[in-house]
Structure 1
Amino acid sequence: MSRDIAMMSATDLIRSFAAGTLSPVEATEAALAAIDAHNGKLNAFVHVDAEGALAAAKASEQRWRDGRPTGLIDGVPTTIKDLADVKALPTRRGSKTTDPEYRAPEDAPFVARLRDHGAVFLGKTTTPEIGWKGVTDSPLTGVTRNPWNPEKTPGGSSGGAAVSAATGMGALHQGTDGGGSIRIPAAYTGIYGIKPTFGRVPQYPASAMGTVSHVGPMTRTVADAALMLTVMSGPHISDWYTAPDDGRDFRQISGKSVRGMRIAYCPDLGFAQVDPDIAELVAAAVRRFAELGAYIEEVDLELSGSAETFRIHWFTGAANAYRALGPDQRELLDPGLAEVCLEGLEITLPDYQDAIREREKLGFEINRLLDRYDLLLTPAMPTAAFDAGLEVPPGSGMRRWTEWTPFSYPFNLTQHPAASVPCGFTRDGMPAGLQIVAAKYREDKVFSGSAAYETICPFKMPT
């Protein structure tokens, strides 16, 4: 029974709270039981606040009894990635350079919004150091593992959030995405994750990775992600990049239909090498969109130049974080991160200005495409999950994580909303993801496409 409750969606939990058939305390106890059952093996949490969660759940339970829920997610077990501040909890950022005695004096803006709507915070989920790579391990917390096969990586950098979602260690999970860090682990663990348009969710303190970094939800259902994004979205005075409030309520998912939509499909972005298993699953998913009434057209895109453009943006961001550290702190860094930081320090101002111009061209190209089409479909990842504890697939000859994530980082550069939807399993039983992209500020279209597909390919839990 506890496992059944732990795997309930946030929307079902809210209905149950309102009907009086389940309490926030029972939901929180089930989530904490799931943490006890799974976290020792999978290592998804850096900090669990069981006492605080149960206290918040009891307060929520009383509000529901009084008929006065405080917001849209009152009593729902929720996790926060350990790059963001949660008041009175530690913020370690996967790094031994941080102070273990530090406690955040206030919530990050989106955390405050979740709290104002009654979220019950279970704790902080794991991340590589400052979220620097597409897998989740760090000198501080060790290796986070995939629930479908603990020998494999869950991806990253929001790997702890993805593992928590897949195993019922909470219903709502927050991730960050500076180059795929929501969509990579969503694809590798078989959950749903959306990177909203840049500026949709406020960030403070700002990410070291600047204007490629986004905040978004990671959940087991599309409806839960729409609910969570509705709560987190909107401008905030602490983040001057945030977009004006357009009044969108993402819970209204346009009838969950793609009938009549014009959808572009690009299987490789002009340069990606995709494993045959993944290519077959994604092509089958695209055919299902046609069966659902959409008009599908395969398009040619040539985005190979985005790799160097992204490298310059990402590595200079890492270098900027490095500059703030003292010599003793630098010695504590993940060796791979230290290498990236040093490479970033060698990038010249003309190189960076050239990368800005190339980014502008890329953004225009995708804007123009999505002016003609409602959605763009691609693989979310070119491979299934590989061995845990490695930055790149073994035997691949690759050096950095950016070489095996060709479908994710282009849309961080362009800042378009993009989601990973689970679209089946490889012959080895590992999840695959379909990426759905829409025009800027049209998360409603991403949710419509995602929800329509979810009706025929719902989340499946690890056994």
Structure 2
Amino acid sequence: MSEKPQASALLKEDATALAARLRSGDLTSEQLTAATLAAIDEQDGSINAYNFVDAEAAMEASRASDARRREGRPLSEFDGLTVAVKDNIDVAGMPTSSGLGYKERAPVADTDASVVTQLRAAGLIIIGKLNMHEIALGATNDNPHWGRCENPLRAGYTPGGSSGGSGAAVAAGICAFALGTDTMGSVRIPASYCGVAGVKPGRDQIAMPGVTRLCGRLDTVGPLARSSRDLKALWPLICRKQASVPDGNGSRASAALSSIRWGVIDHCEKVGTESEIAETFREFADHLPGADKVRRDFSAMDFSAIRRAGLLWCEAEANITFASELQAQPEIFSAELQRLLRWGADRSAPELVRAMDTVEAAGAWLRNQLEGIDFLLTPTTLQTAFPFSSAAPANQANLTSSVNMAGLAAASIPLGTTAEGLPFGLQIIARAGDEARLLEICVALEQHLCHQGTPATA
């Protein structure tokens, strides 16, 4: 292979490229893991993506991976690559804080979450736990206990949330993959703001034992990576049911676009999309190959009501999930979070039922938008990352939240950057169970964007 790049450039390569280096012997897992840990030491003081790092266990696991490769028995294509895990997902021997103010007192998990067990079985190295918005109820990752997680692309700006540490760590190159959770957009929003790829699987497509609940009906685990091809290859390793990987590389992937029946949000500026994003999305959609393009009108949807209903459901369930901690250790909850939980606890039964009805209706509406088409396209977010010094936009999750309510799958891939250099994403929505094909199409879309002169990554 070609001469090895400097560590900083090496760590920005996607997981597929890093795996190829491991296969060729150009790089060992021990070298790669050591370089990743060194980069965490050097960079994470300013990014604050990690809450916990287990360097000793990671290095031990990397040496075991190298031994497997020498013996010709790697566990998967990604054996020996690093993965970091959002701090509401259990990793045996590591603390799980869910973003609360436990600090050194956070309970240590006895067992791995099911999805972490699957990652270990594939030979991936669990390097640590990632910063997140407090109990995953928010989209800025301005955590009052663990500190703000900064967007590595712009100091002082949010990486999004609630899986902000996951998006930031992948974008900064301080892990090959990251796991996040997504209840109303918490994987796709950081992917959009940080210029990386992320996927929210459909309902019941990922095993959830060992994941701290926010809203059981809406929650799922989702991975983030530096490319769609990484996510496509990772998917069979983490999905709940046996899945094959479509052969979607090269010309076949690009040709696949021509047969797709697309649904495209019509006039996305009508739902509040910033002008640069709306213009880029419109130009992209106009030049996208496909068998058909059907315009879908979102302008009549009351996204504010949908968002409030979803948040109320989350707040009500969080009172159950965190009841014992809230009673025994109220000091580990911020004043703002306590206010949100009290709000959820104080709602009447009819109010909760109305909120659930609104959520179910929004989900049914979005499922109907997939009738007669293969995939539905929207911008991921209505805006780019914003500074912590400004108020968080209330509408960040307007185009992502109803996907969870519908139980559908959706991915976010980089679509473009603004004149100020901030990335924004394209959301591709699919039916639950169609994740493998969704990710194949994401690979083809990234190739299409490259050929059109739009970078696939920020």
Matches of 1:19 and 1:141 in 2, distance apart? Answer: 40
1:383-414 superposed Cα distances (whole Å, 9 cap, x missing partner): 11111266614xxxxxxx5x332111111111
Matched residue, 2:301: 303
Which whole-Å deviations, capped at 9, do the CAs of 1:90-130 have from their partners, x for residues lacking one? 11221114762632111100001100110111111110111
- Gaps spanning 5+ residues in structure 1: where? 235-244, 394-400
The match for 2:61 is 56
**Residues in 1 aligned to 2:47 and 2:390: alpha-carbon distance in whole angstroms:** 16
Question: RMSD across aligned C-alpha pairs, in angstroms?
Answer: 2.2
2:430 corresponds, among 434, 438, 444, to: 438
Letter in 2 for 1:276: S
Q: 2:260 maps to what in 1?
A: 261
Q: Contact conserved, 2:163 with 2:181, CA < 8 A, in 1?
A: yes
Taking every aligned residue pair, what percent have the same amino acid on both sides?
29
Equivalent in the alignment of 1:378: 378
- Counterpart of 2:129 (choices 107, 113, 124) is 124
Is the CA contact 1:416–1:439 (under 8 Å) kept in the aligned structure 2? yes
Cα distance change, pair 371–444 in 1 and its aligned pair in 2 (3 A): farther
Contact 1:227 1:251 in 2 (8 A): no
| Cα gap change, 1:101 to 1:364, in 2 (>3 Å) | closer
2:232 pairs, out of 226, 233, 243, with 226
**Partner of 1:239 in structure 2?**
none
* CA spacing shift, 1:389–1:127, aligned 2, 3 Å: farther
Give the TM-score of the pair, scaled to structure 2. 0.90
- Which structure 2 residues correspond to residues 5-404 of structure 1 after superposition, within 5 A? 5-97=10-102, 100=105, 102-205=107-210, 206-234=212-240, 245=241, 247-250=242-245, 252-253=247-248, 255-256=252-253, 257-267=256-266, 272-289=271-288, 292-301=289-298, 302-304=300-302, 305-327=305-327, 329-388=329-388, 392-393=392-393, 401=394, 403-404=395-396
- The farther-off stretch of 142-151 and 341-350 is 341-350
Deviation of the 1:324 alpha carbon: 2.8
Q: Where does residue 418 of structure 1 map in the other structure?
A: 410
Distance, in Å, in 2 between the alignment partners of 1:79 and 1:352 is 35
Secondary structure, in 3 states, of the residue corresponding to 2:258?
coil
Tell me, in whole angstroms, the C-alpha distance in 1 between the residues paired with 2:178 and 2:267: 29
Deviation by residue 1:309-361 (Cα, 9 ceiling, x = unmatched): 32332221233335333446223312222221111112222222233333333
How many residues in Structure 1 have an aligned counterpart in Structure 2? Answer: 441
Q: 1:133-152: CA deviations, max 9, x gaps?
A: 01112222100111111111
Indicate conservation of the 8 Å contact 2:269/2:275, yes or no. no
Is this contact kept in 2: 1:135–1:159, CA < 8 A? yes
Task: Read off the aligned partner of 1:455 and give its amino acid letter.
Answer: Q
Unaligned 5+ segments in structure 2 are 1-5
CA contact (8 A) 2:262 2:294 kept: yes
| Pair 149,136 (structure 1): closer, same or farther in 2 beyond 3 Å | same
Shifted more, 93-102 versus 346-355: the winner is 93-102
